[in-house]
Amino acid sequence: MDNCENKKSCCVKWGKCLGGTLAILALTFGLVTIGQKLYDGLTHFRSFDRTITVKGLATKDVDADLAVWSITFNVTAETLAEAQANLAGSEKIVREFLGTNGIKPEQIRLQNINVVDRKAQVYNNGGDMTLRFILSQTLVARTNDIASMVKASQSISDLVKSGVTLGDPSGGANGVPQYLFTKINDIKPALIAEATKNARASAEQFAKDSGQEVGSIRNANQGYIEINARDPGITESESPQKSVRVVTTIDYLLGK
């Protein structure tokens, strides 16, 4: 007798066997595929995790392109009218001084005028009120002519010789010119490019020493762009000559 009692039961048995076989094959294929994916993923992970972090430095010396100077002077007098006349005289001398040193009239503006009536002060102790009024004034010179501003600041003693009382009447010293560099965006791309180039050079040296090869950038951080005085011992804002500095931090992938 045949193993199958009849054709119908035989077909059912063969169908079950074939279905089970296909299921096993599908499961086997799935497990192989998953295993390959896991292997590829782990391999990629190990490759991705092999990195080197380096820093690249770039510096550039620049000259300030904007100068701002606030000049404060003061006068005293017995009457307000006299004090105003004295203040006007000092203002005229200051403006002429700036003009003589290359600062144009339109580059000078009035910042403020301060009036003190000593007799009106609540803490007046009844002392000598001969010079009752104290007036102070501040002029601001703003120019792109850095050389003229430097020349003027170095000749400040000429104002004192002309009878101008510099500084705030409360005892504050007269300020010095402030020199600014406003074209940072003009040099920023070249600075970053140089810093990145230097960072890669460092990475390639490290990789060479360890038998590796430098790949693409995994992560990059520009860092801050700093502006410092070119020469030590000088405040940055008071120096016409400056040094711009940028440091980039870059992660490079490594490979064999």
- Output the six-digit token pair for 22: 């296909």
Residue 14 pLDDT more than 60? no
The proportion of the chain whose per-residue pLDDT surpasses 70, expressed as a percent, equals 76
Contact 216, 253 (CB under 8 A): yes
- The whole-model pTM stands at 0.73
Residue 35 pLDDT more than 90? no
pLDDT digits over 94-107, tens only? 999 999 999 999 99
Residue 48 pLDDT more than 80? no
What was the pLDDT predicted at 119?
Answer: 80
**pLDDT: is 213 or 5 the higher one?**
213
Residue 186 pLDDT more than 80? yes
The domain at 67-179 falls in which architecture?
2-Layer Sandwich (3.30)
Between CA 67 and CA 108 the distance in angstroms is 12
- Per CATH, the number for 51-63+182-255 is 3.30.110.170
Strands 51-63 and 213-221: unpaired
